[in-house]
Amino acid sequence: MAFLPDASQTQAPERVPGWLTTASDHMIELWHSGFQGVPSADGAQFAELNANEVSTLYQDLPTSPGTKLYWRLYHRGRQGRDTMALDIGAPGGTVEQRRFTDGNTAWGRYSGVYTVPAGQTLTRFAFRSISAAGGNRGIGNFLDGIFFGTAPYVVLDKTAVPMGPLEVGDTLTYRITARNEGGGEAENLVLTDTLPAGTTYLPGSLRVVTGPNTGVKTDAQVDDQGYYDAGANRVVFRLGNGASATQGGSLPNTLALPAGTTVEYRVVIDRAAGGKQIANTAGATYENRLGEEPEPLTATSNEQLTQVKPAADLAVTKSADATTVTVGQTVLYRITVQNNGPNRATGVTVTDRLPEGLAFLSAKASPGSYDPATGQWAVGAMAEGARATLVLRAKATRTGPVENTATVTAVEKDPDPANNTDSVTVCVEPAPSCCDPCASGK
């Protein structure tokens, strides 16, 4: 047991923060759980309503008119059946809300709701002794688990890393922070986030970054708090103290947990998102259990927008009119480029420089132009689905296999670079009567 000054005694090295008493000595009496065989109802200690004299224990809190405030407390007698009153209202004008009478064998739990009237910006919650077993009102009326405040109010803040603009194929990390800026704890808190169109979930990326139950969460754990729901294409996190695989936990308010709790997951940007803006919003469900019945509540995060740069899947194919010719004959190459999208391609260039053994004769490009000195075919811009063709004529000048390669590039990122290059090999013979040099593997 301890006697400590109330919050008004600022000169005291130790005092009871937030609480005041009308007692002339400003003392508050606290008991540790188990002292004289009395266990606490909540936490490790509880208060006796009066310390050395009959008085009122109270707090004054700033309030907004019209606000619904919830209160909750535990009450117990000390030597027998004790009675106390709860008074709420403006300082100097409190009104008795209820009286509580309990014996000394068990704690009674009580709760209620108070709506702040118009013009009342400061509200007093006061606990007043009415009677006590033995006749001495200064002895008795234990109090514990006192709460008065607003309902839980979860605020979600969402970020995307990196900020962008990004490319098709990049990995995007979504991070969501849930803070309870209300009074009571947010119960059964479950956060969900539907993946935006144009993205694919990255397996194993779910993680609780800060807050209760911080740690890596892998999708393989069936008892995990977080998981990816493939059917609904969304991620689900059950958050807060006591969260499990079947239900959400309790998220304290920001006085107890200033940073709240933060989770994250990752997605890969699909080619369908090229040149578009990805929009994503997270949501949460939770309950206010301060009243008689659980009240379902919801929260929605800010919208996170990520710009994706245009992408163009350019495919090049190359063919020759003949794969075996003789020295001096003409080889006709046809090079075709197609833009498979999803966006318009700009600065399209095909590099097709003739190798040794072939002498340039002519080129016909549609569209663009071909420079035989550099081997560059400047195609220009190509709409999604557009095709371009280059016909090259060259003369074979020496025997043996001659490989000719064409490669296409553009300003935009290509989501499938595997089809950006194509080659054709032509075998050149000296004369029909001679041995085929290609047959020897040269």
- What is the C-alpha separation between 244 and 225, in angstroms, rounded? 6
User: Between the CA of residue 227 and those of 63, 195, 240, 247, 280, what are the distances in Å?
Assistant: 40, 13, 16, 13, 18
Which residue type is seen at 94? T
- What is the C-alpha separation between 271 and 416, in angstroms, rounded? 9
* pLDDT(154) > 90: yes
* pLDDT(438) > 60: no
User: Between the CA of residue 349 and those of 97, 154, 341, 355, 412, what are the distances in Å?
Assistant: 82, 54, 16, 18, 12
Q: 5-57, pLDDT tens digit by residue?
A: 999 999 999 999 999 999 999 999 999 999 999 999 999 999 999 888 889 99
CATH architecture assignment, domain 2-149: Sandwich (2.60)
Q: 418-435, pLDDT tens digit by residue?
A: 999 999 999 999 866 544
- What six digits make up the tokens of 213? 């139950």
State the span(s) of the chain assigned CATH 2.60.40.1530.
Answer: 312-429
Question: What is the number of residues in the chain?
Answer: 442
Mean pLDDT of 368-390: 97
* pLDDT(323) > 50: yes
- CA 70, 74, 80: angle at the middle one, nearest 5? 145
pLDDT value, residue 344: 97
pLDDT value, residue 214: 76
pLDDT value, residue 433: 54
Contact 20, 58 (CB under 8 A): yes
Task: Categorise residue 135: left if φ over 0, alpha if ψ from -120 to 50, beta otherwise.
Answer: left
pLDDT value, residue 126: 97
Helix (H, G, I), strand (E, B) or coil at 272: helix
Q: 156-170, pLDDT tens digit by residue?
A: 999 999 987 999 999
* pLDDT(339) > 70: yes
* Top-level class of domain 154-307: mainly beta
* Top-level class of domain 312-429: mainly beta
Residue that the structure tokens 């234990």 belong to:
142
Mean pLDDT of 280-293: 94
In percent, the amount of the chain with pLDDT more than 70 equals: 95
Helices in 195-267 by DSSP H: which ranges?
A: none
Q: 66-106, pLDDT tens digit by residue?
A: 999 999 999 999 999 999 999 999 999 999 999 999 999 99
pLDDT value, residue 50: 87
pLDDT value, residue 223: 43
CA dihedral 205, 206, 212, 214 (to 10 degrees): -20
State the span(s) of the chain assigned CATH 2.60.40.740.
Answer: 154-307
